[in-house]
Structure 1
Amino acid sequence: MSESGRPVVLRGGLVLTMDDAHTVLPEGDVLVVGDRIAEVGSRLEVPEGTEEIDARGGIVMPGMIDTHRHMWQTAMRGYGADWTLTQYFVWYYLESGKHFRPQDIRAGNLLAALEAIDAGVTTCVDWSHGLQTPLHAEAAVDALRSVPGRFVLAYGNIQQAPWEWATSPDFTAFAKRIIEARDDMLGFQMAFDVTGDPEFPERAAYEVARELGVAVTTHAGVWGATNDDGIRLAHEAGFLNESSIFVHAATLSPDSYHRIAASGGSVSVSTESEQSAGQGYPPTWALRNYGIPVSLSMDTSVWWSGDLFSAMRSTLGADRSREHLEAHARGETITAHKLRAEHVVDWATRGGAKALGRDHELGSLERGKKADIVLLRNDDSPVSFPILHPYGHVALQAQRGDVHTVLVNGRIVKRDGRLVGADLADARALVAETVEYLRSTLGDEAWIKGMHPDVPETSILDNPYQYTDYGTAATHGG
């Protein structure tokens, strides 16, 4: 709806519905009444007083869905550009992550939330593993509630064992309060990793999640951190199901992929992260073979971009590179790609909706579904035409600067390339305060050195989780 509450129609755009048939309308209209899509078609008749948005020459598509983003780290955008995963662990898990105050969590979340809707990401899972206290969690929620996007708070705390924080009265009280108050715009998950310890202490956290009726999202198949044992333990205990989201899943055995597929779980692939930090080769080439559902995510802006155009582009590149490489090793030539642009656009929209259990109302442009809609149109860019292959244009040509209009829950939150009602000056000031606080706390020398931190002599390669002494060399061929 427009600012006045009137219906809105996007007129004459190339409409990628992402429905079951992947229907494409070369010159289509999408009518929004209230928070729902009232009709999708051509030359629609609309109610009197409907606001019209000219979508001619542009692409109308569902809002994109990111299923794994550490939003609290966005206040440090680009700081870790040269990090390996081990250096990330050193900085956040071992040394400096504990310095984040509630207001720093809020600053990062606020900036990340604005960044998301600006790039056409209308739903984002805040994989919030910096919540050291309930006050940190309240600050995270406050930021998410202040931005007109759709978010899921995935509660985590890397400074404490999940079987401790998840069973604490403070967490239980907070979780129940959020669950009781949750609505269309804010969901809730639990976020923790499973080390593979045969004692399976994470069982207690899974039991809390089951009691609360919330999904668990976990980093799995991460070289040097999590492996097949964690998935086996959770599966044998009966905790895996269709709501389970496994992030990365890049260094797993066929047995683990079979367990994920059999339980109905899905994988959130962060290709830019996996191919740069070292979790393992981006796994879509393997996931396709096992029929495991895929969604896309950006991981963290402390390294990479915060848009899913980059995710689609890098995912196509990584999957095709693997396909060619393996064919060359066999003395063969790939003559037709298995992974197409259409597939990654689906993963960026419908795939995310399925992973979150909201495919019935998000992820596609269909009558009756929630009006989360993105218009890509940039008349000032020579890259905006011609549009010959619409899925290819979205995956390989478009970028955040082409996001012209965004609607979330029927509300226009970006118009003519500018966020509506966003106080960027306030967000900038809050982030500047966090950066100054962290820099002064660490000291200038440590702050600069942190961009290329030394790796201490520690068990970090086998266990970045300092709340447990358990370690394994399984990921290193031991």
Structure 2
Amino acid sequence: MNAPAPHHDQFAEDRPFVFRGATVITMDSAGVLEDADVLVIGSDIAAVGQDLEVPEGTLEIDASGGIITPGFIDTHRHMWQTALRGYGGDWALSQYFVFYYLNWGQVFRPEDIYAGNLLSALESVDTGVTTTLDWSHGLRTPEYGEAALQAFREIPGRFVLGYGNYLGAPWEWANSPEFRDFVTKNFNAPNDMLGLQLAFDVPGAPEFPERGAFEAARELGLRVTTHAGVWGATTDTAITQMYDAGFMTPEICYVHSSSLNPQSYQKIAATGGTVSVATESEQSAGQGYPSSWAIRKYGIPASLSMDTSVWWSADFFSAMRATLSADRSRDHLEAQARGETIVANRLRAEDVLHMATMGGAKSLGMEDTIGSITPGKRADLVLIKNDESPAMTPILHPYAHVVYQAGTADVHSVVVNGRVVKYQGARIGLPLAPIRDTVAASVEYVRSQLGEQAWQDGMHPELAPDEEIENPYKYTEGDAHVVAQGSE
């Protein structure tokens, strides 16, 4: 007889629970386990296997017909911009730079950072993204940083603050007494639920002033995340400067890396760096062709990211699908240009799911803690199960099913650090309404600062007219074929 479905109030903090009868994609050497169980005790995965013996009083959850994966890991997301969700949906990258960097970045207050982060953090855990690196380049003072952290303290996810300031010089703010006090106050003890990195870019100025920021990171023992290989902005010059100065190490994540030369990719590979691939961003904004196709040839470990909701969502199913499709499309185009045909796809569904889980864990230096369903690791889990969805039956190829068939509507349960934060498609104790009101107030303020004309102009960038190509063909009288003009 099946156990009754648990209610939300049965998920006591100290009560073990077990998912029963799922297809478990472990992302470790065990591979895929059919009709298997996952036992969670405290914050950890206690056991994985079939017909597990469990402690008395363990809560039983029916996961049959579902797939359990490790929690997804987003390694590059400008969370504060989520309050302007979709505002820049028609932007090119230059319009993003103009809006934030040149015109309006200074109007955002700490409370606007808080509002965007709060909504983004809720969206992350709701969609199964259990760990998010917040590439927070809107932090003009430590007060802004405190606002970002406050949002994380209110949402039960795993977060890494990538501290940045696009209106300030990183070699200055990273060495300021105020920033050092911020670090001491908030990160004075190891905490795998809340981490810190430095987030800054290297535009390639001849004097390489970013040296001071790298030295600060090294002194503080912090990893660095940097936008690299962004067409026309961060080029191979930056990679050369970093390499020659000895700052390229396994502790560096190179976001995008979409327009670098072979020597730069070889330097990243040789020094143990990782790349965060944000395919939807790269396809739309213009950093270069999504880099998974290039970096896999050099053996560079990859993770996935969604960049910003000012354009895109936090949907990691979309991230995996877009990456696999873009990589395969490039493979076909390159082969066809040589008069050849691709007969086997090199990038597989398993590979992009690895990027979304273990790849992210490696990028954050947390591969021993999260990223796979391995006993002893933290219990960050996603149960993908929807008994009423035609797309969830049959499950024949689990990796491909996650990537190409499932979606955010099929996220049944989400577990972060052993805590069930979503069950049967509903968040537990995380209502949207107060967050929605906070975001609405932020949007109203920002809109008032821009003025209505600038607000509308920013959302609808003007386009230069396309130059039409004259068509030499026309329909003839009385029949359906076309002829070249002048050949009648």
TM-score > 0.5 by shorter chain: yes
2, 11, 16: which one aligns with 1:2: 11
**Residue 37 of structure 2 corresponds to residue 12 of structure 1:** no
Q: Does the CA-based 8 Å contact 2:19-2:62 persist in structure 1? A: yes
Q: Does the CA-based 8 Å contact 1:10-1:31 persist in structure 2? A: yes
The one-letter code matched in structure 2 to 1:228 is D
**Residue 231 of structure 2 corresponds to residue 220 of structure 1:** no
| Counterpart in the other structure of 1:49 | 57
Q: CA deviation at 1:454?
A: 5.8
Describe the shift of the 1:155–1:116 C-alpha distance in structure 2 as closer, same or farther (beyond 3 A). same
What pairs up with 1:93-242 in 2 under 5 angstroms? Answer: 93-242=101-250
Give the Cα separation in 1 of the matches to 2:451 and 2:171. 34
Q: Does the CA-based 8 Å contact 2:17-2:60 persist in structure 1? A: yes
| Counterpart in the other structure of 1:346 | 354
Q: CA deviation at 1:452?
A: 2.7
**Residue 280 of structure 2 corresponds to residue 272 of structure 1:** yes
Q: Does the CA-based 8 Å contact 1:66-1:352 persist in structure 2? A: yes
Q: CA deviation at 1:24?
A: 0.8
- Greater shift in the superposed pair: 160-169 or 423-432: 160-169
Q: Deviations over 1:116-152 (max 9, x none)?
A: 0001000000000000111111000000111100000
What pairs up with 1:327-406 in 2 under 5 angstroms? Answer: 327-406=335-414
Q: Deviations over 1:272-309 (max 9, x none)?
A: 00000000000111111000000000000110121211
Percent sequence identity is 63
The one-letter code matched in structure 2 to 1:27 is D
Q: CA deviation at 1:179?
A: 2.1
Name the SS for the 1:216 alignment partner.
strand
**Residue 253 of structure 2 corresponds to residue 245 of structure 1:** yes
Give the Cα separation in 2 of the matches to 1:296 and 1:308. 8
Q: Does the CA-based 8 Å contact 1:345-1:395 persist in structure 2? A: yes
Q: Does the CA-based 8 Å contact 1:25-1:41 persist in structure 2? A: yes
The one-letter code matched in structure 1 to 2:391 is V
| Counterpart in the other structure of 2:476 | none
418, 426, 429: which one aligns with 2:434: 426
Structure 1, unmatched stretches of 5+, are 456-478
Q: Does the CA-based 8 Å contact 1:78-1:302 persist in structure 2? A: yes
Give the Cα separation in 1 of the matches to 2:383 and 2:194. 23
Name the SS for the 1:78 alignment partner.
coil
Give the Cα separation in 2 of the matches to 1:125 and 1:25. 30
The one-letter code matched in structure 2 to 1:298 is M
Name the SS for the 1:246 alignment partner.
strand
Give the Cα separation in 1 of the matches to 2:178 and 2:408. 39
Name the SS for the 1:198 alignment partner.
coil
Structure 2, unmatched stretches of 5+, are 1-9, 464-488
**Residue 39 of structure 2 corresponds to residue 37 of structure 1:** no
- Greater shift in the superposed pair: 164-173 or 130-139: 164-173
**Residue 453 of structure 2 corresponds to residue 445 of structure 1:** yes
After superposition, the CA RMSD in angstroms is 1.1
Q: CA deviation at 1:172?
A: 1.4
| Counterpart in the other structure of 1:469 | none
Q: Deviations over 1:341-383 (max 9, x none)?
A: 0100011001001111111110000111110011000112111
Give the Cα separation in 2 of the matches to 1:136 and 1:322. 41
What pairs up with 1:71-110 in 2 under 5 angstroms? Answer: 71-110=79-118
Name the SS for the 1:450 alignment partner.
helix
Q: Does the CA-based 8 Å contact 2:349-2:400 persist in structure 1? A: yes
Q: CA deviation at 1:202?
A: 0.3
| Counterpart in the other structure of 2:443 | 435
Q: CA deviation at 1:3?
A: 2.6
Q: CA deviation at 1:181?
A: 4.3
Q: Does the CA-based 8 Å contact 1:87-1:452 persist in structure 2? A: no
401, 421, 428: which one aligns with 1:413: 421
Q: Does the CA-based 8 Å contact 1:90-1:453 persist in structure 2? A: no
Q: CA deviation at 1:173?
A: 1.2
Give the Cα separation in 2 of the matches to 1:39 and 1:172. 41
Give the Cα separation in 2 of the matches to 1:283 and 1:418. 35
What pairs up with 1:277-288 in 2 under 5 angstroms? Answer: 277-288=285-296
Give the Cα separation in 1 of the matches to 2:60 and 2:234. 51
TM-score (norm 2): 0.92
| Counterpart in the other structure of 1:466 | none
293, 305, 311: which one aligns with 1:297: 305
Q: Does the CA-based 8 Å contact 1:3-1:412 persist in structure 2? A: no
304, 310, 314: which one aligns with 2:318: 310
Describe the shift of the 1:91–1:182 C-alpha distance in structure 2 as closer, same or farther (beyond 3 A). farther
The one-letter code matched in structure 2 to 1:102 is P
| Counterpart in the other structure of 2:331 | 323
* Larger Rg computed on CA atoms: 2
Give the Cα separation in 2 of the matches to 1:429 and 1:230. 42
Name the SS for the 1:57 alignment partner.
coil
Q: CA deviation at 1:325?
A: 0.1
Give the Cα separation in 2 of the matches to 1:4 and 1:32. 11
Q: Deviations over 1:156-209 (max 9, x none)?
A: 000111112112111111122222045121000000000111210000111100
Give the Cα separation in 2 of the matches to 1:232 and 1:454. 37
Name the SS for the 2:369 alignment partner.
coil
Give the Cα separation in 2 of the matches to 1:279 and 1:8. 44
How many residues matched? 454
Describe the shift of the 1:11–1:395 C-alpha distance in structure 2 as closer, same or farther (beyond 3 A). same
Give the Cα separation in 2 of the matches to 1:245 and 1:433. 34
